[in-house]
């Protein structure tokens, strides 16, 4: 083992420099705190071959460029990497918020994060991986190879801090000259994405749920009648008999094989959901067979763990055991015989209802195989449960048909799960913020080894507006995985559901995607064989350009740059593009529209494209092939096209065709030819249509035969100038005459300032809040800016911060429309206070004034009052007893590490943990003017201060990953002169 020079040993190796050894290949190093730590670390579940992580390369003597330090504190191993000033951080897997992760902190703990926000610190997948872009453009990858909860702290400039239970090794990749080299090296460790079947690159339509086979057929028929491309229809949990996996509802889905056959005849594939929660019910064949084989996750006392999910009480397969994975795979194999083309694994964090932690107890036992780590508690295997389930599902599909490529989609995953499944970015919201964030989330997954991903287009929770849906599908049509999905209770979210203008934008966007499928399929072959990303950030074009490092509205598909607008008031032609250096040629398919992204091809590149098919299956080898060509400053260009049968494994044995096309300008003639080929697949006889891009969308084209040289005479400079001028004019006309999607997002209040479908932002000092006046004046986001912590985040319709006009849950006040009475604007147009009023009936109104204190920017204050405005006969008059009930629902970012702390009026001290359930404090047991929600993981507490003379009761209620800290006034009649008042404030305090 190599050892770093100058190791400091303090208090029996409690801190010092880490020891290292080269592994895997040149430029890759493993770091451990000591030789003993190396020998006692758990097996790798991220590496394809765990032995390679544990086998040093004796032939390499090069030292690592950066040697981390470590310290041990209370059983935790803390690792520090100090990198050059100006380093930018990316990666960290499936995360929300900004593209550049510098200044952020992530906790790797797979969580059912429905309705997550920009500051949510744990989502559905775990990627303990940081990609650092150094100031000189070089890249370094850092992997904390642990399955346990890991904190990735990037808040200190140019410093990576990793914290997880000891011991765990850290693997570095590079620094290498480019990010691509780092990702390629990472793929040699954790594997590449499975080669997707070509049909899975088409558009896919889903909903929770299409409630019958009749509705599914109707959806499929409408796609074909309207000429909107689509390849896949998805079936959510309602196809099952009482949510029992591997069953079908005999009334609504009586013959799944017949449904699948009909879908196949229409050119569609069918994907069906399977969850890990198996109904605890004797006589149910899945439960009975799993019980007979003793396959369930166990409690600490050795009994099968039973938790609540969709079917009610459920048991959970222990996928850490090979015998359980084999059992599941065989169930999948039989399930496929119903015409199933793909499987969707959801809820596999695993999510458990009626649990504060949203998952099973950490004390549960998994009887894992020795090569995975043996018998361990759930804390050890939680983050890999979803990946192991996806692996079992993938293997079951291969058992069912070894000649077809499986397609599995998983919600939960771990770094390396791309070997078995695609992923989507979970239960997002139908908001412009989530549209914008979806680009960064897809890119971060690609930078963390998972290139096959995409969001729920249109947003899962809430109702999209026509403009939001059209813009989202226009962008989502360019993502690696393209699927529309929405939750039960929302309006229809199909491409034709929002009016003719939106439907046309969706049709144009999807036809554009289908033209580019030959290019996208080629990118997936390169991802599968070389570990390249499919969608990459714009800075891949020039990693030294600091402006590109924070560009969140564009991305690369190989040499193709996609530039979008993610704001409601600006079309793509109205957005200023920050273009990389070099030659970038704009082009389209004569389909430019303000709501469609702009496309540019890098000079020196060639990309293939085809016809706009209604579905991928309509393509055949004899169709014309087209190439876009953008010459570089030397008059040259090159590009590749991968082709095979679109499914199966023939490509592994050489049954494919990989063609490299080149173009070169000499003496005003461009020659396009094939420079080399790979594979034994016979080139189809087909026409070749070449488009030479001239700039501003102008082009010259020519026809030939694929495989033969094609010569194209370049126009004169004067003719080129005329073509460019005409193209610019045509583009301008298309933009001006396009039928834009109507803006129907605004609604007017009854009085005061006009309300908007976009939340009102209040920002100042250390706080950024979002308020929706049109539904109960609800505060839906409460972000503390210095720590990047989202203490409160909800969807528009429920939770968040609410007020009631009575003691009963959801009494008047939480759903009524509030009118904005006043708002204060500071510099840069930011609102620092907002005053609202809601008419809650019976002559009563709730007033609320939210303000960020200018003299104390750490605090924001809420003054609430319940007052009688107009009390008439029959309303109970002024004798009516009412209560002002403050009802905030706070997120528990780390439920097992959160509690509420306060000192009562009588001097008693309290630490109230989630296990306590609901607690009501009255009289001298009330908190003496403040209580605090503490998160031990974060090291911070949210302090809620209030006027004790106004608060008569305090209610503490723990729920599914949330806690309510409620303040109740006294019960009494109110009038204009004697309203009920509660003044309170919030600030964040560091916990030592």
* One-character DSSP codes across 284-351: -HHHHHHHHTT-B-B-TTSSBP-EEETTEEEE-B-TTSHHHHHHHHHHHHHHHTTT--EEEE-STTT-
- Given a contact cutoff of 8 angstroms between Cβ atoms, the answer to whether 561 and 602 are in contact is yes
Question: How many angstroms separate the CA atoms of 750 and 519, rounded?
Answer: 52
Question: For the chain, first and last CA: distance in Å?
Answer: 38
What per-residue string of b and e applies to 292-324 under the rule 16 or more CB within 10 Å gives b? eeebbbbbeeeebbbbebbbeebbbbbbbbeeb
Burial (CB count <10 Å: 0-12, 13-18, 19+), residue 849: middle
What per-residue string of b and e applies to 570-598 under the rule 16 or more CB within 10 Å gives b? ebbbebebebbeebbbbbbeeebbbbbbb
**Of 425, 423, 405, nearest in space to 413 by CA:** 423
- Given a contact cutoff of 8 angstroms between Cβ atoms, the answer to whether 144 and 162 are in contact is yes
- Given a contact cutoff of 8 angstroms between Cβ atoms, the answer to whether 759 and 738 are in contact is no
Question: How many angstroms separate the CA atoms of 910 and 895, rounded?
Answer: 18
Tokens read off for 258: 């017949």
Question: How many angstroms separate the CA atoms of 574 and 619, rounded?
Answer: 36
The neighbouring-strand residues paired with 142 are 130, 172
**Of 667, 654, 663, 725, nearest in space to 696 by CA:** 725
Q: What are phi and psi of 636, to 5 degrees?
A: -125, 160
Tokens read off for 722: 């005329």
Per the annotation, the verdict on 349 as an active-site residue is: yes
- Given a contact cutoff of 8 angstroms between Cβ atoms, the answer to whether 726 and 792 are in contact is no
The neighbouring-strand residues paired with 625 are 688
Per the annotation, the verdict on 346 as an active-site residue is: yes
Question: How many angstroms separate the CA atoms of 387 and 190, rounded?
Answer: 13
Determine the angle formed by the axes of helices 213-226 and 256-265, rounding to 10 degrees: 0
Candidate list 138, 145, 346, 501, residue with the active-site label: 346
Candidate list 21, 100, 236, 349, residue with the active-site label: 349
What per-residue string of b and e applies to 853-865 under the rule 16 or more CB within 10 Å gives b? beeeebbbbbbbb
Q: Which residue has the tokens 């799960």?
A: 417
- Given a contact cutoff of 8 angstroms between Cβ atoms, the answer to whether 250 and 530 are in contact is no
The neighbouring-strand residues paired with 946 are 984
**Of 767, 809, 823, nearest in space to 790 by CA:** 767
Alpha-carbon distance values, 618 to 170, 270, 471, 917 (Å): 48, 17, 27, 58
- Given a contact cutoff of 8 angstroms between Cβ atoms, the answer to whether 793 and 835 are in contact is no
Alpha-carbon distance values, 188 to 177, 445, 483, 528, 792 (Å): 17, 17, 29, 11, 40
CB neighbours of residue 972 within 10 Å:
12
State the sign of the Cα–Cα–Cα–Cα dihedral 92, 354, 991, 11: negative
Candidate list 341, 427, 433, 696, residue with the active-site label: 427
Q: Which residue has the tokens 């302090």?
A: 943
- List the catalytic residues: 346, 349, 427
């Amino acid at each position: 083992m190599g050892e770093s020079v100058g190791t400091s040993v303090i208090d029996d190796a409690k801190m010092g420099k880490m020891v290292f050894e080269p592994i895997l290949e040149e430029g890759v190093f493993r770091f451990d705190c000591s030789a003993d730590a190396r020998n006692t670390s758990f097996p790798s579940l991220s590496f394809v071959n765990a032995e390679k992580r544990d086998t040093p390369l004796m032939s390499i003597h090069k030292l690592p460029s950066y040697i981390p330090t470590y310290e041990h504190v209370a059983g935790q191993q803390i690792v520090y990497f100090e990198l050059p000033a100006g380093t930018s951080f990316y990666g960290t897997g499936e995360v929300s918020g900004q593209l550049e992760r510098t200044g952020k902190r992530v906790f790797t703990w797979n969580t059912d994060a429905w309705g997550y926000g920009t500051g949510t610190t744990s989502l559905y997948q775990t990627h303990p991986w940081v990609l650092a872009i150094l100031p000189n453009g070089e890249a370094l990858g850092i992997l904390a190879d642990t399955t346990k909860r890991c904190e990735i702290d990037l808040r200190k400039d140019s410093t990576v801090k990793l914290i997880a239970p000891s011991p765990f090794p850290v693997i570095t990749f590079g620094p290498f000259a480019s990010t691509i080299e780092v990702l390629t090296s990472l793929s040699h460790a954790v594997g590449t994405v499975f080669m997707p079947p070509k049909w899975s690159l088409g558009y896919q339509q889903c909903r929770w749920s299409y409630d019958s086979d009749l509705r599914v057929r109707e959806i499929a028929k409408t796609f074909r009648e309207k000429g909107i491309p689509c390849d896949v229809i998805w079936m959510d949990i309602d196809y099952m008999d009482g949510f029992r996996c591997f069953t079908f509802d005999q009334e609504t889905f009586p013959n799944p094989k017949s449904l699948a056959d009909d879908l196949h005849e229409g050119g569609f594939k069918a994907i069906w959901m399977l969850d890990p929660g198996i109904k605890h019910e004797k006589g149910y064949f899945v439960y009975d067979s799993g019980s007979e084989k003793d396959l369930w996750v166990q409690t600490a006392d050795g009994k099968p763990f039973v938790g609540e999910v969709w079917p009610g009480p459920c048991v959970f397969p222990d996928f850490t055991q090979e015998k359980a994975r084999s059992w599941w795979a065989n169930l999948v194999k039989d399930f496929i015989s119903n015409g199933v083309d793909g499987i969707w694994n959801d809820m596999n964090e695993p999510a458990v209802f009626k649990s504060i932690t949203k998952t099973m107890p950490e004390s549960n036992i998994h009887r894992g195989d020795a090569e995975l780590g043996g018998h361990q508690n759930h804390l050890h295997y939680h983050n890999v449960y979803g990946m192991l389930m996806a692996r079992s599902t993938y293997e079951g599909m291969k058992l069912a048909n070894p000649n077809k490529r499986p397609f599995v989609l998983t919600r939960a995953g771990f770094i390396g799960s791309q070997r078995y499944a695609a992923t989507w970015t979970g239960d997002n919201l139908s908001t412009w913020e989530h549209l914008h964030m979806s680009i960064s989330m897809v890119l971060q997954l690609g930078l963390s080894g998972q290139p096959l991903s995409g969001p729920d287009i249109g947003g899962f929770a809430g109702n999209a507006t026509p403009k939001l849906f059209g813009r989202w599908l226009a962008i989502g049509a360019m993502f690696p995985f393209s699927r529309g999905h929405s939750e039960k209770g929302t309006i229809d979210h199909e491409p034709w559901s929002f009016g003719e203008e939106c439907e046309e934008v969706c049709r144009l966007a999807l036809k554009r995607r289908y033209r580019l499928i030959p290019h996208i399929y080629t990118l997936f072959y390169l991802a599968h064989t070389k570990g390249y990303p499919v969608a990459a950030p714009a800075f891949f074009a020039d990693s030294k350009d600091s402006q590109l490092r924070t560009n969140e509205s564009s991305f690369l598909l190989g040499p193709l740059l996609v530039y979008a607008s993610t704001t409601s008031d600006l079309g793509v032609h109205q957005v200023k593009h920050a273009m990389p250096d070099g030659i970038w040629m704009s082009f389209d398919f004569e389909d430019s529209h303000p709501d469609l992204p702009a496309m540019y091809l890098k000079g020196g590149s060639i990309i293939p494209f085809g016809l706009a098919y209604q579905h991928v299956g309509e393509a055949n080898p004899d169709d014309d092939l087209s190439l876009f060509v953008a010459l570089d400053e030397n008059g040259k260009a090159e590009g590749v096209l991968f082709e095979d049968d679109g499914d199966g494994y023939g490509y592994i044995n050489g049954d494919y065709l990989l063609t490299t096309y080149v173009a070169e300008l000499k003496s005003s003639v461009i020659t396009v030819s094939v420079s080399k080929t790979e594979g034994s697949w016979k080139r189809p006889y087909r026409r070749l249509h070449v488009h030479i891009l001239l700039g501003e969308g102008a082009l010259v084209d020519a026809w030939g035969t694929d495989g033969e040289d094609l010569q194209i005479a370049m126009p004169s400079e004067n003719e080129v100038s005329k073509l460019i001028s005409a193209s610019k004019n045509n583009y301008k006309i298309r933009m001006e005459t396009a039928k834009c999607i109507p803006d129907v997002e605004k609604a007017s209040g009854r009085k005061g300032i006009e309300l908007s479908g976009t939340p009102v932002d209040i920002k100042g000092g250390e706080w950024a809040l979002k308020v929706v006046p049109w539904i109960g004046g609800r505060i839906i986001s409460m972000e503390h800016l210095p720590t990047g912590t989202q203490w409160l985040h909800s969807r528009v319709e429920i939770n968040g911060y609410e007020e009631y006009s009575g003691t009963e849950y959801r009494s008047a006040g939480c759903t009524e429309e509030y009118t904005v009475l006043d708002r204060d604007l500071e510099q840069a147009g930011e609102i620092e206070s907002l005053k609202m009023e809601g008419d809650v009936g019976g002559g009563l109104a709730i007033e609320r004034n939210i303000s960020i204190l200018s003299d104390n920017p750490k605090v924001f204050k809420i003054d609430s009052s319940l007052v009688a405005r107009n009390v008439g006969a029959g309303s109970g008059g002024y004798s009516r007893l009412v209560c002002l009930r403050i009802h905030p629902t706070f997120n528990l970012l780390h439920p097992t590490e959160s509690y509420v702390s306060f000192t009562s009026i009588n001097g008693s001290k309290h630490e109230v943990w989630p296990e306590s359930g609901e607690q009501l404090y009255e009289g001298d047991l009330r908190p003496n003017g403040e209580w605090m929600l503490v998160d031990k993981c974060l090291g911070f507490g949210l302090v809620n201060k209030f006027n004790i003379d106004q608060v008569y009761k305090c209610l503490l209620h723990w729920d599914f990953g949330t806690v309510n800290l409620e303040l109740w006034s006294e019960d009494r009649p109110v009038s204009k002169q004697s309203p009920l008042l509660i003044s309170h404030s919030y600030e964040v305090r560091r916990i030592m």
